[in-house]
Chains A and B, each alone.
Chain A
Amino acid sequence: EPEVTQTPSHQVTQMGQEVILRCVPISNHLYFYWYRQILGQKVEFLVSFYNNEISEKSEIFDDQFSVERPDGSNFTLKIRSTKLEDSAMYFCASSGSSSLQFFGPGTRLTVL
């Protein structure tokens, strides 16, 4: 069964450093998303991506964040200068012609 994969599973970084979180969506999907979950809190939408451009972004997704689909398979989330409050689990998701979003296992980002 096809699945969304994410790397790394855990990323530890120093405050102010740049991080890139990587995702490989399901191959025939067209819509891509990033969500995050701060420990003990609910899952929050960050950004959606379709046709090589951002479709929608939340208030959380400020100028420090960017997304890219550099080739036909990867979908990345970059945080330019990490803050302590960026520590969270980041989930990538993708969907096809139905409204069902499939989620990856997540990347746990720890900012020290």
Chain B
Amino acid sequence: AQSVAQPEDQVNVAEGNPLTVKCTYSVSGNPYLFWYVQYPNRGLQFLLKYITGDNLVKGSYGFEAEFNKSQTSFHLKKPSALVSDSALYFCAVRDGTWGNQGGKLIFGQGTELSVKP
């Protein structure tokens, strides 16, 4: 069965410092990986995805993620954190058993990122 793990419930970072939010996955076949962000009382907003190609994926708001096949990881990173980055971050893998389109997303448990001034 496909699964995603986010080992940290919370990550605390000082503004201006680099941040990393960790994600590991378990899939059969090639993974389709995603990061979403959820601000308080809001829906899930897409940040970035990895389907194929370069292992370093760049996304919205200056975020990037590094796909590492040998470590089955897809950590989210940003070189310089902003207070406004404080939110709940979800890593997800798409169930690829439904062909190349569609397929449910399987989410990690989420990581609360807190950036302090």
Given contacts A43-B107, A45-B105, A102 and B49 within 8 Å (CB-CB): no
Does B74 touch A at the CB level, under 8 Å? no
Q: How far is the CA of A33 from the CA of B35 in the complex (A)?
A: 18
For the A-B complex, the count of residue pairs with Cβ-Cβ distances under 8 Å equals 65
**Beta-carbon contact of A48 and B102 below 8 Å:** yes
Which residues of the other chain, B, contact A105 by a CB distance below 8 angstroms? 42-43
**Beta-carbon contact of B109 and A99 below 8 Å:** no
**Beta-carbon contact of A102 and B104 below 8 Å:** no
Q: Closest CB-CB distance, B14 to chain A, in whole Å?
A: 26
**Beta-carbon contact of A99 and B46 below 8 Å:** no
Q: How far is the CA of A50 from the CA of B108 in the complex (A)?
A: 25
State the interface size on chain A (CB cutoff 8 A).
28
Q: Closest CB-CB distance, B38 to chain A, in whole Å?
A: 9
The digit string for B95-117, where 1 denotes a CB below 8 A from any CB of A, is: 00010111111111110000000
Q: Closest CB-CB distance, B49 to chain A, in whole Å?
A: 6
Q: Closest CB-CB distance, B113 to chain A, in whole Å?
A: 16
**Beta-carbon contact of A102 and B46 below 8 Å:** yes
Chain B interface: which size bin?
20 to 34
Which residues of the other chain, B, contact A104 by a CB distance below 8 angstroms? 43
Does B51 touch A at the CB level, under 8 Å? yes
**Beta-carbon contact of B43 and A42 below 8 Å:** no
Q: How far is the CA of A55 from the CA of B103 in the complex (A)?
A: 9
Q: Give 29 A-B contacts (CB < 8 Å), ordered by A residue.
A: A31-B102, A33-B105, A42-B90, A42-B108, A43-B90, A43-B110, A45-B106, A48-B98, A48-B103, A55-B102, A91-B43, A91-B44, A93-B44, A93-B105, A97-B101, A99-B49, A99-B51, A99-B94, A100-B34, A101-B46, A101-B105, A102-B46, A103-B43, A103-B44, A103-B46, A105-B42, A105-B43, A106-B42, A106-B43
